[in-house]
Amino acid sequence: MATAIIMPRQGNTVESCIVSKWHKQKGDAVAVGDILFTYETDKATFDEESSVAGTLLETYFEEDDDVPVLLTMCVIGEEGEDISGVTPDGASTVSEELATSEETVEVAEEKSAATATEAPIAGDTAKISPRAKNRAKKAGLDAAYATATGPSGRIIERDIIELEKSGPSVTKAAATSYVSGTAYAGTGIGGRITAADTEKGGIAAIAVDENFVEFEDEKLPNIRKVIAKAMHNSLSSMAQLTINMSFDASAIMNFRKGVKAKGEELGLPNITLGDMVVYTTAKTLLKHKGLNAHFTVDTIRRFNTVHMGVAVDTDRGLMVPTLFNSDRMTLAQISANTKDIAAQSKSGTINPDLLQGGTFTITNLGTMGVESFTPVNNPPQTAILGVCGITTKVKEANGSIKTYPSMGLSLTINHMAVDGAPAARFLKDLCNNLENFAVMLLA
C-alpha cells in the first residue's frame, strides 16, 4: 500500500515551508528513518524522516518550492504500484499553479477587456485539452486567442467557453483560408470573420522560435540593492530641482589641446575636460557653501572644504568614490587622483572609507552625448552637478554670427536646503569660471 508523505505543519502560524533539499530521488529505495527531504520555515530548518520503507515512487515538488503545509510531498510504496489513490489533484503541477495563479488572473482580466480582434499572444498552442480543442473547432473559434487558465498555461474548456463570448469567431467557410493566430477585422454577422475578411488578410502573429527564451531572471547583487535603495531614498526624501545652463567650452578645449600636445614631453598626466570641471567646481563651491553642505532634519552643515564625490560607472553598477579636500588640489592632482579612485572602484579594490564623506557630487554623462539630464542627489548632500556633452551652438560676436562648442551643465539641488536663485548664481559663476579657465589655474 502506497503511503503519501505530507509537508508537516511546524507550529500553528506556519502556512508553508520551503523545500531546501531532496535527499532521495524518485526511484530510490527508502528505509525507515532515512531522511527524505530538508525543509525550512523562516526561522528554522527541519529534516523529514521516513516512517515507512519502500521505493520513492513520485515527488511533487522541487527544491526551493514554497509548499503549503499538509500537501502531499511524495509517495513511498512498492515499485509498479498504482499510486492514483494517493496522488493529489493536479499533482505534478501544483507548485507551478500556485506560482502562476496570481499572474493568470491578471492576464485574464486584461484579456477580457481587450478588443475581440486583438492579436493573440503567440505561444505554444499545443497546450490545449482535447475537450477544449474539440469545442473550439465546433464553434469555429481560434484557440490561439483563448486565455489559458488551466494548469501550466494549458487551455481548458472554460477558456473556450469564455472565448465564445468574447470572440473572434470564424465562419465555417472562412475556416479554410483562416490562418490561426492572425488578427483579422471581422465584418460578418456578430463580428464573425468571413471568407472575404480572410482574403483581405490580417496582421500575422509573430513567429516564435520554440527555443526562444523570453526573459532571464537574475538575483540582484548586493550593490544593485544598495543603489536601488539609495536612489529611491533620494527621490522620496527630497524636493529635487534640476536647472540647466551651458557655457562656451572653447577655453577648456583649447587648454586640453595644449596639454595634449605638450603634456607627454613635460611628463604631465592626460588632463580630461572632466578633470577641469571637477577642478573648477571645487574652487567655485567655496564661494557657494550652501551647495557644499549636508542637510539633515534640523541642521544644515556648510563645509569649508570640498570633498568631491565623483560618480564612476563600473561593471557592477554605479559607485561614487570621494576626492577629499579637492579644493586644495592642483589640476594635475585632481586628474591623477580621479583616475586612481576610478580605477580602484572598477577593480573593486577601493577602500570603503573612500565611498563616503562627500560634500558635493559630480556625475559625467557628457562622453556619451547626453545633452541634459536630471542627476539624482546623493543625500545628505544638497546638490549634484551633471556634466553633459558638447554641442555646436551659434552666438553673435561683434555683429557677426559664429559657431562655438557649448557644454551643458545640469545641476540638481535639494530645494528643501537650497533655493533656485542661489543655485543659479553658483551655476552662472561656474560657467564663467570655465569660460575663463586659465584664470582659475591661478586661484
Partner 1 sequence: MKYDLMIIGGGPAGYLAAERAGHAGLKTILFEKNNIGGVCLNEGCVPSKALLYSAKIYDYAKTGSKYGVTFEGASLDQEAVIKRKKKVVKTLVSGVKGALKANKVEVIDGEGIIEKRSDDGFNISCDSTTYTGSRLMICTGSVPIMPPIEGLKDAYEAGFAMTNKEVLELTVVPKKLVVVGGGVIGLEMASYYNSAGSEVTVVEMLDRIAGITDTEISKILKKNYEKKGIKFNLQSKVVKFTNNSVVYEKDGETVEALADKVLVSIGRRPMTQNIGIENIGVALTERGAIITDDKGRTNVAEVYAAGDVNGKSMLAHTAYREAEVCINNILGKKDRMRYNAIPAVIYTNPEVASVGETEETAKQKGIDYECANISMRYAGRYVAENEGGNGICKVLVDKKYNKVIGVSVIGNYSSEFIYGASFMIETEMTVDDIKEIVFPHPTVCEVIREALFAF
Comparison of 187 and 270: residue with beta carbon closer to partner 1: 187
How near is the Cβ of 170 to partner 1 at its closest, in Å? 9
Comparison of 48 and 142: residue with beta carbon closer to partner 1: 142
User: Of 278-307, which residues contact partner 1 (CB under 8 A)?
Assistant: none
Name which position in 188, 263, 274, 379 contacts partner 1 (CB under 8 A): 188
- Piece in contact with partner 1 (CB under 8 A), picked from 63-71, 166-174, 363-371, 378-386: 166-174
Which x/- pattern, by CB under 8 A, does the window 195-234 give for partner 1?
x---------------------------------------
Answer yes or no: are the C-beta atoms of 290 and 425 closer than 8 Å: no
> 126: helix, coil or strand?
coil
Name which position in 12, 84, 176, 211 contacts partner 1 (CB under 8 A): 176
The DSSP symbol for 205 reads P
The verdict on 18 binding partner 1 (CB under 8 A) reads no
CA atoms within 13 A on the CB side of 64: 2
How near is the Cβ of 167 to partner 1 at its closest, in Å? 10
How near is the Cβ of 358 to partner 1 at its closest, in Å? 59
Comparison of 14 and 173: residue with beta carbon closer to partner 1: 173
Residue type, 262: K
The DSSP symbol for 273 reads H
Residue type, 255: F
The verdict on 149 binding partner 1 (CB under 8 A) reads no
Which one, of 75, 70, 71, 69, lies nearest residue 52 by Cα? 75
The verdict on 189 binding partner 1 (CB under 8 A) reads yes
The verdict on 138 binding partner 1 (CB under 8 A) reads no
The verdict on 194 binding partner 1 (CB under 8 A) reads yes
The verdict on 173 binding partner 1 (CB under 8 A) reads yes
Q: How many CB atoms lie within 10 A of CB 29?
A: 12
Residue 169's beta-bridge partner residues?
141
Comparison of 88 and 191: residue with beta carbon closer to partner 1: 191
Dihedral sign for Cα 99, 218, 127, 145, please.
positive
Name which position in 9, 133, 192, 339 contacts partner 1 (CB under 8 A): 192
What's the CA gap between 238 and 164, in Å, rounded?
Answer: 53
Q: Which three cell numbers stand for residue 63?
A: 527544491
How near is the Cβ of 196 to partner 1 at its closest, in Å? 8
How near is the Cβ of 172 to partner 1 at its closest, in Å? 5
Give every CB contact of residue 431 below 8 A, 6+ residues apart in sequence: 245, 246, 247, 409
Comparison of 38 and 177: residue with beta carbon closer to partner 1: 177
Q: Which residue has the cell 536647472?
A: 243
Comparison of 176 and 400: residue with beta carbon closer to partner 1: 176
Give every CB contact of residue 250 below 8 A, 6+ residues apart in sequence: 404, 405, 435
Q: Residues touching partner 1: how many (CB under 8 A)?
A: 13
Comparison of 198 and 406: residue with beta carbon closer to partner 1: 198
- Piece in contact with partner 1 (CB under 8 A), picked from 141-149, 173-181, 249-257, 382-390: 173-181
Q: How many CB atoms lie within 10 A of CB 80?
A: 8
Name which position in 172, 206, 400, 421 contacts partner 1 (CB under 8 A): 172
Name which position in 72, 171, 359, 377 contacts partner 1 (CB under 8 A): 171
Residue type, 324: F
How near is the Cβ of 184 to partner 1 at its closest, in Å? 13
DSSP codes of every residue in 328-339:
GS-HHHHHHHHH
Which one, of 229, 243, 230, lies nearest residue 423 by Cα? 243
Comparison of 123 and 191: residue with beta carbon closer to partner 1: 191
Comparison of 200 and 225: residue with beta carbon closer to partner 1: 200
How near is the Cβ of 185 to partner 1 at its closest, in Å? 10
157 CB-contact burial (10 Å; exposed 0-12 / middle 13-18 / buried 19+):
middle
Dihedral sign for Cα 67, 70, 71, 74, please.
positive
Q: Which residue has the cell 488551466?
A: 150
How near is the Cβ of 137 to partner 1 at its closest, in Å? 13
Contact footprint for partner 1 (CB under 8 A): 171-174, 176-177, 187-189, 191-192, 194-195
